[in-house]
Amino acid sequence: MSVEKAYELAKERYAAFGIDTDVAIEKALALPISLHCWQTDDVGGFETKPEGLDGGGIMATGNYPGRARNGEEARADLEKTMSLIPGTQRVNVHACYSETDHYVDRDEMDPSCFTKWMDWAKEQGICLDFNPTFFAHPKAEDGFTLSHQDDEIRAFWVKHGKACRKIAQAMAESQGSPCYVNWWTPDGDKDIPADRFSPRARMAKSYDEIMADDSVDKTKCVDFIESKLFGIGSEEYVVSSGEFCSDYAISRGMGLCMDMGHFHPTENIHGKISSHLQFMDKILLHVSRPIRWDSDHVTLFNDDLKNVFIEIQRGNVWDRVVVALDFFDASINRIGAYVTGTRAARKGILYALLDPTAQLQGYEVEGKKAQRLALMEEFKSMPFAAVWDMLCEKADVPVGADWIGEMEAYETDVLRKRA
């Protein structure tokens, strides 16, 4: 059956519940998703570094051929990726993806280190988001940055933070709209600390110092702080825990970033959205898929993902949630990872926009809880796929599995030719 025929039938089914599929498609396509540049190269970064200068990074596992080795390759991969994904996209750049002809250390970075990204974004007609990089650097080797007990090291990272807000502001000015900045630090301890208080006090102090820079316009550089429960090497103690970050964000009038992989393995985030949004204007989501101790598997169209977007729909808070991705898999074709994960996120958005929210909430008000449960369950077998296929057709990107061939061709023609 053609996409059009299947869509007409699906449209009728949804219309019987008062849901306009054309409107849902349009809205789903308009909502921006920020693609994380770090999936192109397994979070390596492109800084010009003197020989031997390195430092622990985030661990991406796998060695699939074709990793981007520089900004040109990363942007080419992003262009290919974006051609296979429907809807509005942004690109999220980490500070370690600076491109300079000589070494510029993190504390000395300025907007000129990202000119290539900004020029490219303009050409592509997309907006950029930004992240300071508090890892993969010798001054982050012992696992502490903004909460470091050594004042010189802490000051170095504060300087990096200040520089990053100026870079984000320049990005916002270049694109004529806000740049969303995510603050994540790995600071923490593998085992039981004797003092959990002092690093947290220093972390808060550092953030206060960074955010005190009044020359940065908060409507251009929009800051979010990302929490984490534990990491590899910080299994026992993470300075920027859930409580630390949400308390900090609320008390300082900034946003919170919730990464779907940063909580207890059986904990999920959709129930938290309605709480945080009582007290903060915006939240940022890192859409991801945790598996056991890994927080960053490629996103899939699973219940956790659907529930997050359904919650946004039911609270009608689409304009208060910024959607970004955070997964990386170096063991499979990286374009395949990007496209699978981002298409899944867009599917989640569309799925939620087709939710019979008004009817469900009506049942709830009337105390008709059996009807509420029944309708939620029945909606799981509505002809969603036909609406999704139409969304892809409207966006002029491959329908269904058709994109896999394009990924394979790109692997043969481009990725396999990289050393």
Ligand X SMILES: C[C@H](O)[C@H](O)[C@@H](O)C(=O)CO
Binding site feature residues:
262, 294, 296
Q: Examine residue 146 and tell whether it contacts ligand X (CB under 6 A).
A: no
Catalytic option among 117, 183, 184, 403 = 184
Which region among 87-95, 104-112, 253-261, 397-405 touches Mn ion (by CB under 5 A)? Answer: 253-261
CB of 131 to ligand X, least distance (A): 5
Minimum CB–partner distance for residue 402 and Mn ion (Å): 30
Q: Report CA-CA distances (Å) from 28 to 93, 223, 259, 318.
A: 23, 25, 21, 10
Does the active-site annotation cover 213? no
Q: Considering only the stretches 10-18, 225-233, 265-273, 367-375, report the one whose residues sit in contact with ligand X under the rule CB under 6 A.
A: 225-233
Residue in 138, 141, 153, 132 with CA at minimum distance from that of residue 54? 138
3-class SS at 51? coil
Q: Does 187 bind ligand X (CB under 6 A)?
A: no
Name which of 231 and 398 has its Cβ closer to ligand X.
Answer: 231
137 vs 123: CA distance, rounded Å? 32
Residue 189 touches which of ligand X, Mn ion, none (Cβ within 5-8 Å per kind): none
Query: Is 286 a residue that touches ligand X (CB under 6 A)?
Result: yes
**Residue 223 touching ligand X (CB under 6 A):** no
Q: List the catalytic residue out of 213, 294, 406, 408.
A: 294
Helix (H) or strand (E) holding 357: helix 357-365
Contact by Cβ (8 Å): 98, 104? yes
As a whole number of angstroms, the distance between CA 160 and CA 286 comes to: 22
Q: How many residues does the chain have?
A: 419
Could you give the string, one character per residue 290-329, with x where binding to Mn ion holds by CB under 5 A and - elsewhere? ------------------------------------x---
Query: Which of 40, 89, 295, 299: binder of ligand X (CB under 6 A)?
Result: 295
Nearest Cα to Cα of residue 302 among 334, 268, 277: 268
Q: Rounded to an integer, what distance in angstroms lies between the CA atom of residue 274 and that of residue 314?
A: 10
Residue 258: exposure state from Cβ atoms within 10 A (0-12, 13-18, ≥19): buried
Q: State the Rg of the chain over Cα.
A: 22
Name which of 43 and 273 has its Cβ closer to ligand X. Answer: 43
- Establish whether 41 is a catalytic residue: no
End-to-end alpha-carbon separation of the chain, Å? 44
Residues 172-211 that bind Mn ion (CB under 5 A): none
Specify whether 380 is catalytic: no
Scanning 216-224, 226-234, 299-307, 349-357 for contacts with ligand X by CB under 6 A, the matching segment is: 226-234
Among residues 73, 99, 189, 326, the one annotated as catalytic is: 326
Contact call for residue 263 and ligand X (CB under 6 A): no
| C-beta of 179 vs 386, nearer to ligand X | 179
4 in catalytic set: no
* Residue 45: CB minimum distance to ligand X, A: 10
97 part of the interface to ligand X, by CB under 6 A: no
Residue 286 contacts Mn ion per CB under 5 A: yes
Phi/psi at 237 (nearest 5 deg)? Answer: -140, 125
Q: Is 175 in the site for ligand X (CB under 6 A)?
A: no
Q: Which stretch binds Mn ion (CB under 5 A): 95-103, 191-199, 282-290, 409-417?
A: 282-290
Whole-angstrom Cα distance, residue 198 to residue 376?
47
Interacting stretch for ligand X, rule CB under 6 A, among 61-69, 167-175, 223-231, 331-339?
223-231
Residue 394 DSSP label: H
Residue 324 CA from chain centroid, whole number: 3
Q: Out of 223, 259, 304, 411, name the contact with Mn ion by CB under 5 A.
A: 259
The residues, any chain, with a CB within 8 Å of residue 79's CB and separated by 6 or more, are: 124
Which is the catalytic residue, given 11, 262, 272, 276? 262
Question: Is residue 27 annotated as part of the catalytic site, yes or no?
Answer: no
Contact predicate 353/306, CB 8 Å: no
38 binds ligand X (CB under 6 A): yes
Residue 234, strand partner residues: 231
Q: Residue for token digits 């942007």?
A: 75
Q: What is the DSSP string of 186-222?
A: --EESS--S-SHHHHHHHHHHHHHHHT-TTS-TTTEE
Q: Which of 73, 187, 304, 326 binds ligand X (CB under 6 A)?
A: 326
**Single-letter code of the amino acid located at 163:** A
Catalytic-labelled residue, pool 116, 286, 306, 347: 286
The correct pick among 97, 144, 184, 248 for binding ligand X (CB under 6 A) is 184
Token pair for residue 294? 């890994």
Enumerate the active-site residues. Answer: 184, 226, 228, 259, 262, 286, 294, 296, 326
Q: Which residues bind ligand X (CB under 6 A)?
A: 38, 43, 58, 94, 131, 184, 226, 228, 231, 259, 286, 295, 326
